[in-house]
Structure 1
């Protein structure tokens, strides 16, 4: 075999390796305390170095400069950041702007496709045009991530539950708004159902690794009691954040301090109300234990199809629910509508094989299931 032929083979091999390296990237993330690596395809980046996706219209990358709150209102948050140009024509370096943007774009599409499959394309994500403009920001407040601005700390390894949760918000806004399911706002039922799909897709009970402070991580493996404990209040949330960043909390110019101050100022008379993100774990943990016994596929389908019929089950309350003394029924989805609905759907989908499991897990959490006539 000639020297030239050998050289050609070597060069061809190097070419293939280079192509493969440019078509995938290894991303790191935390899962249950362990650093994991996943190789993701970069097929959403075209030959011109542009992100092309039916779910994303544009992308922007920036570094956080500061936060501000108009009249100390936490719902009027202003993010000031310095944009950085992205260059996908070169090999992506770990923890670079392109690395975090690729990680985000890949997972946005992954979660949308998960929900599309589960809900039979009933959720029109592409109608939510404002969320198709994706921004990634490097800053010290990743817990302030939103569905169109994903915030990472520099060199962090955020769990993909970050994306699963945020796209879940989009899904449930659509389910409530366009599909008309009567959650009546982000109740703990709404939040708990949303977070069930977060943990199920992530195949892990933990939500928030390396983007939520450790003291407010959400863990579906815990037993949450009903009625919810006082620690799940808005006050408990703010105390957890403050305890996680003691030095920053003392600096009135820090982003953490500004956030806590805005909440304490605006909601000082409502600090005892339930923090629905953490309060929703009452529902999430119950469904997670059902999933452990029924398996993911059956439970995902059971929960999704129950959600779509929750209004119907709510309208049947007079047939199955016995009120306690002085109890007022509200025109919104409550735990007993979900409980009754899961059992009815289980009969339809699984021949009632999950009945004892569902009943046991709702009772374990403290729900007064004797009030529901089955």
Structure 2
């Protein structure tokens, strides 16, 4: 056997061993499944955030945890003080990642968190300081039966589910808009339908789909930007409408006082019994989201995303000049927070600056289609 043949054999053996090692798991990518408009889709996602020792490394995430849901409770019967009780389980990223395993859901979550943060960073010129939100740098993924209770800190998946990535786009959207309000000072004054509508616009735009909630919200509670949500809001967008949708989606669980669904329904019914006719801001925000989605369908994602982002950053300025463009009704009391006419006027002005006014007629038509009386705004 010649020396050259022997050396070539060694090289081929080493290359084959390297191939096996890297395809086994430290695989640099995995396939994940998710629903999009009723179709099961598959995406190959890179695992470049997992180092050679099996540790997740990202400047946006300090640590991760995985657990199985045991039960939920609400401290002081307050719907906003959810307590999740779960049993921790270890993660091992040094082995092959199996579909629907703890590592699979964690990788899917981390990949999308990074993706959405970088999307917002690009849109808002890094003005949103996600790393200042220390409490959200520890991420927990939990397997349980209440995925609709996911938060930017605890992501809940049903076993073997295929949640739409709109889940992550929405939750990181909350973080972005909390910072836009608290860090940048934009005067939404809480989770108003304007705040939520703008947030959810970016959810559907990044997802390139009008649907929010596939395989994590109850079917009757899903949101669809293709629908025309009229203004003023319909009764179905009330808090009662939301709770009715929860009850209708889980007819058996809602009868069991020990179920997590019943606990959620009951605490909300009691806490908001005097406010059930008020708008549910998550679904009420679709009034704005659907309007902007229709504008996007005509102007395209890049132009519309940029237009909406630039308008948001100047909303306070537009609000402060209301007296110059808004014809208030007699005895109308103007509130010191962003309203639809501030957004509408701002979009028109920004379109002039950014797009030479190419979208003005489209913006006018779609706000009118929603039901906004745009004639009260002087342009």
Q: TM-score, normalised by structure 1?
A: 0.97
Q: Which residue does the alignment assign to 1:320?
A: 325
Distance between the aligned counterparts of 1:259 and 1:322, measured in 2? 43
Distance in 2 of aligned mates of 1:273 and 1:366 = 19
Secondary structure at the aligned position of 2:252 is classed as helix
How far is 1:3 from its partner? Answer: 10
Q: Work out whether 1:109 is the aligned partner of 2:114.
A: yes
Compared CA separation, residues 3 and 157, structure 1 to 2 (3 A): farther
Structure 2: any 5+ residue segments left out of the alignment? none
Tell me the residue number matched to 2:123: 118
Match of 1:45 among 50, 55, 60: 50
Residue in 2 that maps onto 1:212: 217
The Cα shift of 1:12 comes to 2.9
1:237 equivalent in alignment to 2:279: no
**2:252 matched to which residue of 1?**
247
Q: In the TM superposition, what are the counterparts of 1:83-232 in structure 2 within 5 Å? A: 83-232=88-237
Equivalent residues of 1:145, 1:151 under 8 A apart: yes
Q: Report SS of the residue matched to 2:217.
A: coil
Alignment partners' CA distance in 1, 2:64 and 2:116: 18
Deviation per CA, 1:184-208: give whole Å up to 9, x if none. 0000000000000000001000001
- C-alpha change, 1:18 and 1:204, in structure 2 (3 Å) is farther
Cross-structure match for 1:329? 334
- Mapped to 2, the partners of 1:165 and 1:73 lie a distance apart of 23
SS at match of 1:246: coil
Kept after mapping to 2: 8 A contact 1:186/1:276 = yes
Aligned residue for 1:257? 262
Find the counterpart in structure 2 of residue 15 from structure 1.
18
Task: Provide the residue aligned with 1:370 in structure 2.
Answer: 375
Q: Is the 8 A contact 1:72 1:261 kept in 2?
A: no
Counting matched residue pairs gives 374
Runs of 4+ aligned structure 1 residues displaced above 4 Å come to: 1-8
Pairwise CA distance, 1:5: 5.6
- Please report how far the alpha carbon of residue 324 of structure 1 lies from its aligned counterpart in structure 2 after TM superposition: 2.0
SS in 1 for 2:64: strand
Quote the Cα distance in structure 2 between the aligned partners of 1:83 and 1:96.
14
Distance, in Å, in 2 between the alignment partners of 1:17 and 1:274 is 56
Report if aligned partners of 1:25, 1:92 keep a CA contact under 8 Å in 2.
yes
Query: Structure 1 unaligned runs (5+)?
Result: none
Residue 298 of structure 2 is matched in structure 1 by 293
1:271 aligned residue: 276
- Give me the whole-angstrom Cα distance separating, in 2, the residues matched to 1:18 and 1:357: 55
Deviations 1:332-363 (A, max 9, x none): 00000000000000000000010000000000
With 290-299 and 318-327 compared, the bigger mean Cα shift is at 318-327
Q: Distance in 2 between matches of 1:327 and 1:294?
A: 34
1:27 maps to which of 25, 32, 35? 32
Moved more, 11-20 or 221-230: 11-20
Distance 2:211 2:272 in 1: 28
Contact 1:67–1:77 (Cα < 8 Å) also in 2: yes
How far has the Cα of 1:77 moved from its partner?
Answer: 1.6
